[in-house]
Amino acid sequence: MSNLKYEEILESLIDVLMIEKTKEDKLKVVSKILIDNVPNVIWAGFYLINEDGDLILAPYVGEPACIKIELGAGVCGTSALLMETKKVYDVSKFPGHIVCDENAKSELVVPIVKNDVVYGVIDLDSDRLGNFTVEDQDFVERVRDILITSIDFK
Ligand code: SME
């Protein structure tokens, strides 16, 4: 069964993004959309790769988080390195998980990849174990696909 709320957000997302002028503003709006609409999320935001190949904290909504994550480190760095989504049922069981908020129990990280180049990740934390569904993952991956066409990440 498709989630109507997710479908409606996806349908209007390109228009919503066009209203915002800068990349930062666009990513801030998306962070807000994610934390407001994916259930039980306590942190939603972006890490973007800098010229040294590290993930640097970008727009987000939630408690202040770690500023720099090396490629391959934590859930975010692993997702970026492997260029694949990581849906983690219990972050305490994920080797090398980086604790930013002690209330975070499960995590969904979707890499931003275009033409085999990774530009960063979308990161969502939940205070519930195993919070994220296949539907949530599909939604965030489709948000990512729209961002790739609407924003110049270079
Ligand atoms: N837990 C993440 C770090 C980022 S915060 O959750 C905002 C990780 O292991 O990569």
pTM of the model: 0.97
Any atom of ligand 1 within 6 Å of the Cβ of 60: no
Q: What's CA 57's distance to the chain center, in Å?
A: 11
**For a pocket test of ligand 1, which of 43, 67, 76 has the largest count of ligand atoms closer than 8 A to its C-beta?**
76
Residues in Cβ contact with 64 at an 8 Å cutoff, skipping those fewer than 6 apart: none
Any atom of ligand 1 within 6 Å of the Cβ of 124: no
pLDDT for the residue 4? 86
Any atom of ligand 1 within 6 Å of the Cβ of 61: no
Any atom of ligand 1 within 6 Å of the Cβ of 107: yes
Integer Cα distance of 100 and 146 in angstroms = 28
Match 């498709």 to its residue by tokens: 2
Q: pLDDT tens, 21-48? A: 999 999 999 999 999 999 999 999 999 9
Q: pLDDT tens, 104-126? A: 999 999 999 999 999 999 999 99
Integer Cα distance of 100 and 96 in angstroms = 12
